[in-house]
Structure 1
Amino acid sequence: MSQIQLITFDLDDTLWAVKPALIRAEQEQNDWLKQHRPGTVEHHTHESLFEFKKSVWKRHPELAHHISKMREQSLYELQIAVGYTPEDARIGAKEAFEVFLHFRHKVELYENALRVLELLHPHYTLGAITNGNADVYKTDAAEYFDFAILAEEVGASKPAPIAFEEALKRSGFRAHQAAHIGDHWEHDVLGARNAGFHAIWLNASNVGWPHDSEPPLTIQSLDELPNLVASLGEF
């Protein structure tokens, strides 16, 4: 029997490709602004809008791990910059962000993701740990997850250990009983290792390990995950 009792998953680019959802969500958000807060974004190019966002990030380092609040702050300042009142800008930022978040969750899971989650769920506690603001319970994978942790909830992003530690608290397991799977070599692999988890790298592109530490357990497809996790009990 495998010693692993808990499996945690990164979400974006691990269970689904995030870029299509983000592009659509951003477009829907901007369309809402054009209709309800005219003048806010029409004069911006994609590049200038990104530069504006970066300026907001620099002015608000306290929001570095609060991605939703950071986006709302950017939306607020975009409106203030063109003359909307603080009250209108606050209302507009909240409503535009709600539009963004709705479409941000219109993700299409990888073809094998639901199949793998269905296989794992009867045998392991499954959790989500994400630096983004995706709510796994608003996706087709909802029924398979026992808990989910967002960086903005714990005030720190992976590879900081706090989210992994929170996963252990919620599940009741110890670090050596846990495995984390993710696509990002630093956030997911080094983060999991630093927290004492077994780290599994989803390296779909088969790129070389970019760190000077020992390469992690690696899979190119989620289909490989059930057998790999089961084999950890044999080490």
Structure 2
Amino acid sequence: MSTIMRIRAITFDLDDTLWPIAPVMLRAEQRLDNWLHAHCPRAAAVYPIAAMRVLRDRIADENPQLAHDFSAQRRLSLQQALLPHGYHDDHVEGAFAAFYAERNRVECYADTLPALERLSAHYPLAVITNGNADLHATGIAPHFRFAVHASTFGSAKPAVEIFHAACERLGFAPDEVLHVGDDPELDVIGAHRAGLRSAWLQRGTISWSEASRQSAVQPDWIVRSLAKLTDLLAPPARVGVH
């Protein structure tokens, strides 16, 4: 039986797989800065965008127990930025809401939505993500059965357990599930260790050996677009000759 025939479900990473994350975060940081200037000007003066970035990185380094929860890291950063300047928890939540709304305003790659539409007609689809995007807020939730978020699961990719949790919810053995993602360590090597099939989405020019630091693990597929993966997994029906 071929690899394709064994695949019964597909899981996806989100950031830099279905959409580019860098422009999203730049807009979210700018939206947060605008909100702070409007509602918390004393804190905004001390924490412009670059300083807020440094604070958020420091909070992440000082709180390894929150490594799987980017929203918690962001809220803690906002607490440390706002509370010493006389602002309160409602300001923290308002600032986070402004940031988070923009964080979910994503622009999918051109190949994303057509691929999800075709693949969801053939396979149950799910998400495994270390990020904090909300599927409903991004508008792509109808294509997926569910999402496993590291923040609510309690551990992040490449942990074996988060992949197995998705497989259990899908109702299939790990070797019947294909995971698709852009990150060699988190997505491909993590999926391999958990017993899943894997597809590395090579959106850049760097080779697999370079990207994976010459890991012995090899993805089942290396594809440059989701359109190519879709052609492999869900080829269009052939029109019969009459």
TM-score clears 0.5: yes
Match of 1:61 among 51, 61, 64: 64
Per the alignment, in what secondary structure is the counterpart of residue 188 of structure 1? helix
Correspondence list, 1:1-235, <5 A: 2-81=5-84, 83-84=85-86, 88-209=87-208, 210-216=213-219, 217-229=221-233
Kept in 2: contact 1:206–1:220 (CA 8 A) = no
Cα shift at 1:42: 1.9
Cα shift at 1:45: 4.6
Return the structure number with greater relative CO, CA threshold 8 A, min gap 6: 1
Kept in 1: contact 2:122–2:234 (CA 8 A) = no
Query: How far apart, CA to CA, are the structure 2 residues paired with 1:180 and 1:164?
Result: 9
Query: How far apart, CA to CA, are the structure 2 residues paired with 1:29 and 1:45?
Result: 10
Cα shift at 1:19: 1.4
Kept in 2: contact 1:128–1:136 (CA 8 A) = no
Paired residues in the alignment total 227
Per the alignment, in what secondary structure is the counterpart of residue 109 of structure 1? coil
Kept in 1: contact 2:30–2:49 (CA 8 A) = no
Kept in 1: contact 2:111–2:227 (CA 8 A) = yes
Per the alignment, in what secondary structure is the counterpart of residue 58 of structure 1? helix
Query: How far apart, CA to CA, are the structure 2 residues paired with 1:105 and 1:17?
Result: 12
| Unpaired segments ≥5 residues, structure 1 | none
Question: What are the Cα deviations for residues 200-231 of structure 1, in whole angstroms up to 9, with x where unaligned?
Answer: 10011131223321432200011111233369
Kept in 1: contact 2:11–2:125 (CA 8 A) = yes
Residue range with higher mean Cα deviation, 179-188 or 46-55: 46-55
Residue range with higher mean Cα deviation, 140-149 or 46-55: 46-55
Query: How far apart, CA to CA, are the structure 1 residues paired with 2:133 and 2:147?
Result: 10
The one-letter amino acid paired with 1:155 is: G
Query: How far apart, CA to CA, are the structure 2 residues paired with 1:77 and 1:45?
Result: 14
Query: How far apart, CA to CA, are the structure 2 residues paired with 1:117 and 1:93?
Result: 36
Per the alignment, in what secondary structure is the counterpart of residue 42 of structure 2? coil
Identity %: 37
Structure 1 equivalent of residue 239 of structure 2: none
Kept in 1: contact 2:180–2:198 (CA 8 A) = yes
What RMSD, in angstroms, separates the aligned Cα atoms of the two structures?
1.7
Query: How far apart, CA to CA, are the structure 2 residues paired with 1:114 and 1:3?
Result: 24
Question: What are the Cα deviations for residues 169-204 of structure 1, in whole angstroms up to 9, with x where unaligned?
Answer: 211111011000000111100111111000110011
Cα shift at 1:39: 1.2
Question: What are the Cα deviations for residues 109-162 of structure 1, in whole angstroms up to 9, with x where unaligned?
Answer: 111111111111111010011111001222232211111111101111111122
| Unpaired segments ≥5 residues, structure 2 | 236-242
CA distance change for structure 1 residues 45 and 30 in 2, over 3 Å: closer, same or farther? closer
